[in-house]
Amino acid sequence: MDEYLLLLLNQTLSNAGFDLFFAWISQDLFFSTPLLLTVMVFLSWRFGKDGFKFWLLTIVFISLGDQLGALLKHLIAQPRPCAELGSVVRQVDTVFSINCSRKLNGMPSNHALNFFLFASFSSYVLRWRGWMVGFGLLAVLVALSRVYLGVHYPSQVLVGAFIGTGLGAGMGWLSLRYLSFVQRVTQAARVNI
Got the DSSP string for 98-133? -PPP-SS--SS-HHHHHHHHHHHHHHHHH--HHHHH
Mean of pLDDT values over 133-149: 94
Provide the percentage of residues in the chain whose pLDDT is more than 70: 96
- Look at residue 46 in the predicted model and tell me its pLDDT: 92
CATH of 2-191, one of 2.30.30, 1.20.120, 3.30.70, 1.20.144: 1.20.144
**147-183 residue pLDDT tens:** 999 889 999 999 999 999 999 999 999 999 999 999 9
Mean of pLDDT values over 24-36: 91
Nearest one of 187, 114, 120 to 157, comparing CA atoms: 114
- Look at residue 142 in the predicted model and tell me its pLDDT: 96
Provide the percentage of residues in the chain whose pLDDT is more than 90: 62
Residue 87, pLDDT > 80, answer no
- Look at residue 96 in the predicted model and tell me its pLDDT: 67
Omega cis (within 30) before 108: yes
The residue count for the chain: 193
Question: Do residues 121 and 172 make contact, with C-beta atoms less than 8 angstroms apart?
Answer: yes
Nearest one of 126, 85, 124, 125 to 102, comparing CA atoms: 85
Residue 191, pLDDT > 80, answer no
What are the extents of the domains in the chain?
Answer: 2-191
- Look at residue 105 in the predicted model and tell me its pLDDT: 79
- Look at residue 144 in the predicted model and tell me its pLDDT: 94
**92-109 residue pLDDT tens:** 776 667 777 777 778 899
- Look at residue 189 in the predicted model and tell me its pLDDT: 86
Question: Do residues 146 and 112 make contact, with C-beta atoms less than 8 angstroms apart?
Answer: yes
Q: Which residues of 120-136 are buried (b: 16+ CB within 10 A; e: fewer)?
A: bbbbbbbeeeeebeebb
